[in-house]
Structure 1
Amino acid sequence: MNRGRIRRLLHTAVLSESDRPTTYCVLNNNVPILRLWFDLELDTKQDFRLSRRAMHALMRLMQREQDHGWGNELEILIYVYWLAHGLSYRVVSRVFSVPKSTVHWVIHKVAKFIWDNLTKAIDFPKLTEIDTVGNGFADLSRSPVFNKAVGAIDGCHIRIKPPSFHRLDYLNYKGFYSVNMQAICDSSRKFLDIFVGYPGSVHDTRILKSSSFYLARSDPPNGYFILGDGGYPCLETPICLMTPYREPVDDRVQRRFNYHHSKARSIVERAFGVMKTRWRATLFRAPEVSPTFVPQVIATCAFLHNVCIENGDILEPDNDALEILDTEPPLQDAPEAHDTPGNAIRDRLAAQITT
């Protein structure tokens, strides 16, 4: 951060050491939020929605070689505080005693850095970790048949203030303006992949087939599968995606499969619920930012969600943050040329479930 832009926040001093100047910053003790941060005995959850341990982990992930002094740390504090409270830039500028233009600059800078480095926290498990994830899904489903599941996929809608152009494109089937977030999570609710930004009117299947996850065809590995709800097609290729049998189901084997499938797949809805609970001040109302910036804001919420899980900062979703279990109606698209239906695999899995 440019020191001139934060001179109201920090007192700067320069010392000479072997003819090489060293610049360091002394905390301005008149800023309460910074007194809280630098007092290691105080809890940070109320003000930043992250534990101190998770905050330090985030700062390590975002450390760059050119960073020095307090600049990077202060930028992250400003950004996370803004995200935690959903406040205007003007209010955040008062809290940190910096110009509003600095707050605007910091928020866009930090969001862009996270957007460009999502894989530092959001990625598929390594082959050595994949069986642990599968066993987690077997536990969730209450059936060992699902021990080859490596993720659960779904989409959620994040409210926005729609642009004046193509406004109706953002009106979703629930009746409000939104952008879509497609996510795949593992059995611990950690996001493995996200794809954010399509207008709210776009169906989950169309978003899936436009996503880098689908087009790359590299995950899940051969022999493993992803779980999705009835709004998605059941596929063997280009990705192995197992969906429930379409209701109403009279067959006992199919009904049993749907029960265990739902137990495992619903973890992704809880992941969305946890993320929305932590960042409810931003995600429960349309953020006061341009629609083009919203995808970066949502992506950083998912990134921080994973940082929290990795560092033991766990919370349960509020009831109003859980996604309503109303599956979008299936999209009656003609199959893609490279799509192979997964019905035969699903039938084999269903036949293996004994209870």
Structure 2
Amino acid sequence: MAVDPDVLMLQAVKMYTTTLRVQAHFLGMVHDFMMRKWTQNSCEQRVRAIRNALKEKLKRSREMFEAERRADLRCRRRRRLLLVSQFALVSDRKMWRRERPHGPVFWSNVLNNFDEDEWRGHFRMSRATFDFVLELVEPQLRRKTTNWRQPLEPRLRLAIALWWYATPCEYRSISCIFGVGVATVCVLVRQVTGALSRALSKRFVQLPSGARLQEAMHGFAERGYPMCAGAIHGTHIPIRPPPEDPLAYSNQKGWHSIVLQAVVDHNQCFTDVYVGWPGRTHDAQVLANSPISRKAEDQGGYLFPREKSKTVNGVEIPVHLIGDQAYPLRNWLMKGFTNHHLFDQRQQSFNLRLNSARMVVENALRRLKGRWRCLAKRLDICTSFVSDVVVACCVLHNICEINKEHFLPEWNTELPDLPEEPERVANQDAQAQSHQAIREAIMSLL
């Protein structure tokens, strides 16, 4: 069968045309892909170039900042060295402290013009006793002299602290009197208090032993009560309400306080002080947690050497303390009879003699608060620091009593706002029956 050439030519042209279209479409796709690839690469290059430029600029900025900082430090260092070199040539150091012209003048007047009565009235002790205390605490109060400041002398530091102990003045008032900063007064009081309460308490406040124990027993025997080495009593020290658990520090009279438990010998010197319990705590509980109670219980009920004990009618009478009705009856602690309406003549005589001998501790506490008036008013200081202040005042009290310092009657004049002391609550002791034999034996000695 014959094939028409025109038909064949037409079919060939169609096939060729289709091939060209396919090729053109393919080439278009390749072109679009290449254009998109080139555009992406171009954007990445631009971003990379911008990032590198920013890094270079940041690096140059940092280098310039560090250079300027080093130059500023060198300039400050040169100015500081110049200032120090000029300061070393200046004797008054005016730029390092606030001028208080009245302070040095007042202290110079105290040292040069105060007579013995004025000195005792302001510092509660004579110049000789003041110098004795200064000698004891001077190593703890001395500070090194530097190129920056001349430190206060130990004598002035001690005088500022004693002024605060002895008067109801606040830090600001003492600052104006002595010409020092308010913060300086606070620091000095803490320094002197720490030196007295830590370094000297073990030396001047300790239970009697040896010859001192025998002397104490003889002193109480002369007061009419035998076999006694000390009298114990408690008092309240007014404080400001603490931020933590203020209700526990509110005593029976409604004001906040901490309890001072004190043992005193026949010379009205403190032989043991235990302070810090909240004012609401009963005296018997304070005693039960005190070191002397633990010491007596650890030694089988003997606070003092058992060799000093005395046997009367088959009953051993140990050397003991005496207290009021707020304390329990123990082998090492005697108190008077209760139930006054059932007293016989012997019991009444025993109570009179015990209370007469026990007055030494009440007199000592009265003299303590009279001499150091900071304990008679509310102490507006940290509650944890009050205990150190009380111990320091007890140390100073003993030093004054040992050196036979005069106690002026006007020191005991009550302050208008002096709080009333809480009443002593009698202790109901279930173990009192087991210790009454010793009290009966003591009555036979009277």
TM-score interval for Structure 1 and Structure 2 normalised by the shorter chain: 0.7 to 0.9
Partner Cα distance (1:323, 1:123) in 2: 30
The equivalent position to 2:427 in structure 1, one of 306, 331, 334, is: 331
Given residue 33 of structure 1, which amino acid in structure 2 is its aligned partner? W
Larger helix proportion of the pair: 2
The equivalent position to 2:305 in structure 1, one of 221, 227, 236, is: 221
Q: Which residue of 1 aligns with 2:134?
A: 59
Matches within 5 A, 1:301-312: 301-312=393-404
Q: Which residue of 2 aligns with 1:119?
A: 202
| Structure of higher RCO (CA pairs closer than 8 Å, 6+ residues apart) | 1
- What SS class does the counterpart of residue 163 from structure 2 fall into? helix
Partner Cα distance (2:141, 2:327) in 1: 45
Structure 1 residue 103: Cα displacement: 1.4
1:136 is aligned to 2:219: yes
The equivalent position to 2:105 in structure 1, one of 10, 31, 55, is: 31
Q: Which residue of 1 aligns with 2:250?
A: 171
Q: Determine if contact 2:284/2:326 at 8 Å carries over to the other structure.
A: yes
Partner Cα distance (1:351, 1:167) in 2: 48
Q: Determine if contact 2:252/2:422 at 8 Å carries over to the other structure.
A: no
Bigger Cα Rg: 2
The equivalent position to 2:234 in structure 1, one of 150, 155, 174, is: 155
Q: Flag the 1:85–1:309 CA change in 2: closer, same or farther, 3 A.
A: same
Q: Flag the 1:253–1:209 CA change in 2: closer, same or farther, 3 A.
A: same
The equivalent position to 1:270 in structure 2, one of 363, 380, 403, is: 363
1:106 is aligned to 2:198: no
Q: Determine if contact 1:230/1:327 at 8 Å carries over to the other structure.
A: no
Structure 1 residue 38: Cα displacement: 4.8
Structure 1 residue 168: Cα displacement: 1.4
TM-score (norm 1): 0.81
Q: Determine if contact 2:104/2:179 at 8 Å carries over to the other structure.
A: no
Q: Which residue of 1 aligns with 2:330?
A: 235
Partner Cα distance (1:113, 1:326) in 2: 32
Given residue 187 of structure 2, which amino acid in structure 1 is its aligned partner? W
Q: Which residue of 2 aligns with 1:318?
A: 412
- What SS class does the counterpart of residue 379 from structure 2 fall into? coil
What CA deviation, in whole Å up to 9, does each residue of 1:42-95 have, x standing for no partner? 541122122212212211222328847863222211111111122222221222
What RMSD, in angstroms, separates the aligned Cα atoms of the two structures?
A: 2.9
Q: Flag the 1:82–1:320 CA change in 2: closer, same or farther, 3 A.
A: closer
Partner Cα distance (1:231, 1:76) in 2: 38
Given residue 401 of structure 2, which amino acid in structure 1 is its aligned partner? I
Structure 2: give runs of 5+ residues left out of the alignment.
Answer: 1-90, 94-101, 145-151, 310-318
The equivalent position to 1:255 in structure 2, one of 335, 344, 348, is: 348
Greater shift, 322-331 or 49-58, is seen at: 322-331
Structure 1 residue 139: Cα displacement: 2.3
Q: Which residue of 2 aligns with 1:88?
A: 170
Q: Flag the 1:29–1:162 CA change in 2: closer, same or farther, 3 A.
A: closer
Partner Cα distance (2:141, 2:129) in 1: 23
Partner Cα distance (1:150, 1:232) in 2: 17
Partner Cα distance (1:267, 1:323) in 2: 22
Greater shift, 64-73 or 197-206, is seen at: 64-73
Q: Flag the 1:323–1:268 CA change in 2: closer, same or farther, 3 A.
A: farther
1:75 is aligned to 2:169: no
What CA deviation, in whole Å up to 9, does each residue of 1:152-186 have, x standing for no partner? 00000111111133111111123321111000001
Larger strand proportion of the pair: 1
Q: Determine if contact 2:253/2:420 at 8 Å carries over to the other structure.
A: no
Structure 1: give runs of 5+ residues left out of the alignment.
Answer: 1-10, 14-27
What CA deviation, in whole Å up to 9, does each residue of 1:196-250 have, x standing for no partner? 11110101111011111221237333321101111111101xxx00110113142
Report how many aligned residue pairs link the two structures: 319
Q: Flag the 1:326–1:105 CA change in 2: closer, same or farther, 3 A.
A: closer
Partner Cα distance (1:318, 1:110) in 2: 24
- What SS class does the counterpart of residue 106 from structure 1 fall into? helix
- What SS class does the counterpart of residue 226 from structure 1 fall into? strand
TM-score (norm 2): 0.65
Q: Determine if contact 1:159/1:283 at 8 Å carries over to the other structure.
A: yes
Partner Cα distance (1:187, 1:104) in 2: 35
Greater shift, 303-312 or 283-292, is seen at: 283-292
